[in-house]
A and B are shown apart, each in its own frame.
Chain A
Amino acid sequence: MKKLILAMLMASVLVSPIFANGENEKQNVEGPFVPQQSIEWYCTSSPGGGSDIFTRTIIDIINEENLANGQNIVIQYKTDGAGEIGRNLVSNTKGEKADYTLLTFNSGDLMPMVKNTNKRFEDFQPISHMAVDKHLLFVGENPKYNSFEEVIEGIKAGDQIVLGGSKGDDIACYNALIEELGFDNTQLSFISHDGSGAAITAMLGGHVDLLISKPAAASQYVEAGRIKPVLALSTSRFPGNLNSAPTLSELGYNDVESPNWRSVVAPAAMSEKAAQFWSDVLKKVSESDKWKNDYINVKKLVPDYMDKNEFKEYGEKFQMNYLKSIGK
């Protein structure tokens, strides 16, 4: 008999949180969305990388300024299948859980996703576009070519030049560059590395002629005099120690750029109210001093907040152009 009572007690203790949760939900049916449980934030890259730092910075700010009703935010790293597994999981999350699921998403994620799988931008609920990274070209310490004009002259004279870079958006930027210059991929060939760090290593060792990188990874090496910026792949010059690199339009071509945008998306099944809530939270993050000083300025990104509606339009257009460019 004692055992039976004990078992019933234990069962009721185990079941009680379910009821507690249920009551909370009821309070929330009317009025704006307020988080009532912990949030799972997916990141499809390994800890320590650019996406991870982006995610952690945002979560730090949300916690510091208490923007999520004091709820805990847990980062889940899902790097299986080059990130496709995590993206698939988020896009298929349904029900109430969808309101508590977010995903760090950038154009470097979108490009392989639409190229290799049937998943599309429309399978997610866009939340906010946060910032943009752009690219530069660099040469090493004892370069064969001291400026990008010399590179162009060299290629025209029959030289074959090797450019090293990372994946995703770096490759897209390279393709746009050779198209504008009218070269083919043997005159200026591209070597894809596992990340910007590996590409910089190849440049420091003198194994490639040119390096393509985003400023965050490269600026330390510029300061140490190990590499030198020769071309800004943007519509205007970069600030600080990257200012010496001209844009393509200064050299008589059209400007080429392939911005790597960094954003946050959610499951397509996320409710309208929750999506609006998260979009507003991220707007507050993007306006905070910590975001502007410790992230945007230090990593030399271009701040560019878009709310969920603007970002939806932007993302769909980006995807359409990309699909067209790969003939899909």
Chain B
Amino acid sequence: MQNLELLFTGFVTVFSVQNVLVTMLGAVLGLLIGAMPGIGSLAGVALLLPLTYKFNPTTAIIMLGALYYSNMYGGSFSAILLNIPGDSPAVMTAIDGYPMATKRKRPGQALYTSNISSFTGGLIGICILTFMGPALAELGLKFGPAEMTSLLLVAMTSIGWLVGSNPTKGVVLTAVGILIASMGMDTLTGSPRFDFGSMYLLGGVPFIPFVIGTVGFAQVMKLVDEKDKKSNNIINEKLTIKGSMISLHELKRLLPPAIRSGFLGTFVGVLPGAGATTGAFLGYATQKAFKSEEPLGTGAIEGIAACESANNAAAAGSFAPLLALGIPGSGTGAVLLGGLMMWGLNPGPLLFTNQPEFCWSLIASLFLANIITLFIALGIIPFLVRILTVPIKLMIPAITMVCIVGSYSSTNSLYGVVVMLISGVFGFLFEKNGYSTAPMLLSFVLAPLLESNMRKAFIISHGSLDFFVKSPISLVLVILLILIISTPIIRGSLKIVKNKKQNKK
């Protein structure tokens, strides 16, 4: 109960006029930054950090916290409406969000689903943070290289659910994703790898331009390609406010995946080095194991709910190690941590004890930001959906510009634009030939994590494989992995035996 008491003192701090205003400012900026492709929360927080040096630390962190947090909402807007993920966690939102908006012609419902799920996931994450923050952070510490290796292997199997109808094509693109991710500096020894003598490739392929290309720019080319077949607009019908609303039945459909992903996402957010993107990927992949009313990937509400809820929950979860131990769970967390130092606070295990006012105000401001962002988002959705009624001939150059600006700003150089264009061409060719690019993006995110953790685990175990079974957490995960892999095989062979028996009769 002491936590609740502290939380209320936090609310007292947050509800000053100045702090409510900066929360709102942070929320609006976060929505905008999130909706702009290429400028993710990392860049947003980094850009605003210098502005906050003159604030008092509590006000500054409230604003940046609100910004980081609402950013997870904004990312889904451009993903759903334009098929361009506004930030990396929104990649998965685009898979179901864009078809729902365009093929099913229900952009309003798609956006509402995404925002209500974000709210649900975020609320779960913040509640867990309130009551179990420090304990959760300590649990996160138990996940060392060995445990992370096992966990990531389990996560990698979820690619199996994303490969679509043709497993061979899926596996090929998974491998391509891993190969591309291995370019650049070796994570452990720091020696160059697959850089082909180019100074640019030394830093590897940047994720944001890669995603904007394979998903967004490929979409532009698809629009060009289909221009003659289709009518002038993506959506011809008039979109009314009433027609954009979500029904009670749909609300019931989105809640179970949103709640599941809320818990999963919080947990992923707490793990060292995982972050919101991994959270969203896993949330979506997990949903594949559950029932959805419509098949995932064709515009299912469940698909949007699962990943949007997970990424907001992960954003909240990543505050646990940041506040309790001074360990950033993500790149954005690292920048916030740098901010704490600049404001003269010493982040670390003593922050909760020495600066309770600061910590609890931050948590209270997350609650506030979550509610404010939800209302702002719900209010602007009916106007946003009209983007889809813009004629395609105007959409194509506009989206192209957004892709170019987004990929430029994420790397601050033309290198990002080149990466975006090349991956766009390949993304288009892949999709046209029935290769789904989702497995490639997932393996691109997970492979570097898996590689560095596995190699660390082998150094610690001095080359022995026993690290998989030595720690209880890892052992459980390995058993889970074996079950996941063997279930289809056993099921398949049972079927064959059954069929043979029937044939004999």
Contact = CB atoms under 8 A, between A and B. Distances in A.
Interface residues of B, number: 54
Interface of B: 46, 49-50, 53, 141-146, 184-185, 187-192, 199-203, 206, 272-273, 321, 325-328, 331, 334-339, 341-342, 344, 346-350, 411-413, 415, 456, 459-460, 462
B188 A192 contact: yes
B342 A56 contact: yes
Nearest to B351: A220
A211 to B, nearest CB: 13
A196 B414 CA distance: 31
B348 A224 contact: yes
Contact of B144 (A46, A84, A206, A226): A206
Contact of A220 (B334, B350, B412): B350
Contact of B346 (A162, A201, A220): A220
Contacts of B327: 197, 200-201, 204
Interface residues on chain A, size class:
35 or more
Contacts of B272: 198, 201
Given A206-B141, A221-B326, 9 more contacts: A48-B337, A53-B342, A80-B411, A116-B192, A197-B337, A202-B144, A207-B460, A221-B348, A224-B348
Contacts of B187: 192, 194
A190 B188 CA distance: 10
A92 B202 CA distance: 19
B190 A204 contact: no
Contacts, number: 132
A-B pairs, 7 with minimum CB distance: A48-B338, A220-B348, A207-B144, A205-B141, A224-B349, A48-B335, A81-B203
A61 interface: no
14 contacts: A46-B46, A47-B46, A47-B335, A48-B46, A49-B338, A53-B342, A81-B203, A85-B199, A189-B459, A194-B187, A198-B272, A201-B272, A224-B350, A294-B344
Interface of A: 46-49, 52-53, 56, 60, 76-85, 88, 112, 115-117, 160, 162, 167-168, 171, 186, 189-192, 194-195, 197-198, 200-202, 204-208, 220-221, 223-224, 226, 294
B413 to A, nearest CB: 6
A112 B338 contact: no
A42 B325 CA distance: 31
Given A162-B460, A204-B325, A53 B348 contact: no
Given A194-B187, A208-B460, A226-B349, A81 B338 contact: no
Contacts of B325: 201, 204
Contacts of A190: 459
Contacts of B341: 53
A82 B202 contact: yes
B200 A198 contact: no
Nearest to B416: A80
A247 to B, nearest CB: 25
A84 B413 CA distance: 13
B460 A191 contact: yes
A197 B328 contact: yes
Given A202-B144, A205-B143, A48 B49 contact: yes
Contacts of A162: 459-460
A117 B328 contact: no
Contacts of B141: 201, 204-206
B278 to A, nearest CB: 15
B412 A77 contact: yes
A47 B42 CA distance: 9
Given A49-B334, A56-B342, A81 B142 contact: no
Nearest to B49: A47
A48 B191 contact: no
B203 A79 contact: yes
Q: Which of A82, A112, A115, A171 has the most CB of B within 10 A?
A: A82
Contacts of B185: 82
Contacts of A171: 190
B385 to A, nearest CB: 35
A78 to B, nearest CB: 7
